[in-house]
Amino acid sequence: NYGVHQWISHQFLHGGITHLLFNMIALFSFGPMIEKYFGKDFIWFYLISGLGAALLQFLFVPDTALLGASGAIFGVLMVYAILYPNSKILLFFVIPIKSKWLMSAILGLEVYLGFFGESDGIGHLAHLGGAITGFLYFMTTKKVK
């Protein structure tokens, strides 16, 4: 059983230095553009994306334990792909791919692994929940550019 605070606090704990490092690299790489878009509301967007991540994971896997910012990061990645769909990202630091195609492939993989993959200790549905929540937050608060 989780306490109310854990719906948010899980986003600030990680399963090791590698887990933390990859999440922070993604936040450092894509977060500033999304923070610029949302302004002072970025923190709400980020926390709500993480909350949506936890919610989807618990809907399908109620006895799970969540740890990490990955769900909130997926919200950031989703909005980045919407705002900058043709921006090129270097996959594996070598292969250039447009953000819209990379995010589409990642989401497809998360759906497959979340619903059909074997349990690997990764919250694939949390990743998906963060992306969906980030998308919904973006769509309901869209700003005119």
Inter-residue contact 125 to 52 (CB < 8 Å): no
Q: Residue 88 pairs with which residues in a beta bridge?
A: 98
Residues with Cβ within 8 Å of 17's Cβ and at least 6 positions away in sequence, in order, are: none
Nearest to residue 142, comparing CAs of 45, 48, 43? 45
The question of whether 5 is a catalytic residue gets the answer no
Count Cβ atoms below 10 Å from residue 60 Cβ, excluding itself: 14
The question of whether 70 is a catalytic residue gets the answer yes
The active-site residue, picked from 10, 70, 99, 124, is 70
Residue 138 to residue 78: CA distance in whole angstroms:
9
Active site residues: 70, 127
